[in-house]
Structure 1
Amino acid sequence: MNSSELSNELRRFINTIVSIPHLEIMLLLHQSPEQAWNIAVIAQRMYVSQSQVAVMLRELCDAGVCKSSSGVNDEFIYAPITSELAQLIDELSEFYPRNLIQVTNMIHAKSSSGQRVQMFADAFKLHKDK
């Protein structure tokens, strides 16, 4: 795949990414796969709170992207659960820097449309309670 092409598989994968900070943490872990990353260090690099990083890392672990490093609660290491996931993250690491706006727009559009759908659903809950 050319680094400027967006395959259907990569598009689907990008659409599963919850937020830009999730993406950035995933790519940070990917760039140094042997390194154990401490929550505090990631929080400092990402400019978000340690508690937010801890939640995002747990979500990335649940998604099979990383795992706790040697049983240490606040350290994580890149460890994709499948070779297919590892390949998609490799592709994303090449695609994202050259197509930053496209990828961020995809992630933001997904979350904002989801918010609109939720607001629409919530509007009916208000009417139901009356």
Structure 2
Amino acid sequence: MTSVSSVPHLEAMLLFHREPALRRTAAEVARALYLPEAAVADLLRALCGAGILACDEACYWYAPSEPLARALDSLDKAYRDNLVGVTHLIHNSTQKSAMRFSEAFKWRKDN
């Protein structure tokens, strides 16, 4: 779960996970997630790169390896059972990454 970049990434993964036979366009996913299509297109490309989705020029579909599919089954169950806890875990992970990144640009007295 700490590898999930954001709640929209999680929601997109689970959208495909819950209906694995469906192929969707970025516009369809954007409408389902109430997000701008351009942002969703980037998100979907990232999920393709992670091996969760496959795609062609127009559509995306669920295509994880068997071990990854099992992990997504567990993630789906955890999200259904503890939505708030899972979203807090994702937000906390994202905030820590951002803070570590910003720390790299702080000037130190010894610099």
TM-score under structure 1 length normalisation: 0.80
Q: Which residue of 2 aligns with 1:15?
A: 2
Q: Which residue of 2 aligns with 1:78?
A: 62
Q: Which has the higher strand share?
A: 1
Q: Which residue of 2 aligns with 1:109?
A: 92
Q: Which residue of 1 aligns with 2:24?
A: 37
TM-score under structure 2 length normalisation: 0.92
Q: Secondary structure at the match of 1:74?
A: coil
Q: CA deviation at 1:38?
A: 1.2
The counterpart of 2:40, out of the listed 53, 58, 65, is 53
The count of residues paired between Structure 1 and Structure 2 equals 110
Cα distance in 2, alignment partners of residues 53 and 77 from structure 1? 14
Q: CA deviation at 1:114?
A: 1.2
5 Å matches for 1:62-77? 62-68=49-55, 71=56, 73-77=57-61
Cα distance in 1, alignment partners of residues 90 and 107 from structure 2? 27
Q: CA deviation at 1:21?
A: 0.2
Q: Secondary structure at the match of 1:124?
A: coil
Query: Runs of at least 4 residues of structure 1 off by over 6 A?
Result: none
The counterpart of 2:76, out of the listed 85, 93, 98, is 93
Q: Which residue of 1 aligns with 2:103?
A: 120
Q: Secondary structure at the match of 1:67?
A: strand
User: What is the identity, as a one-letter code, of the residue corresponding to 1:96?
Assistant: Y
Q: CA deviation at 1:119?
A: 1.6
Q: Secondary structure at the match of 1:21?
A: helix
Aligned-residue Cα RMSD (Å) equals 1.5
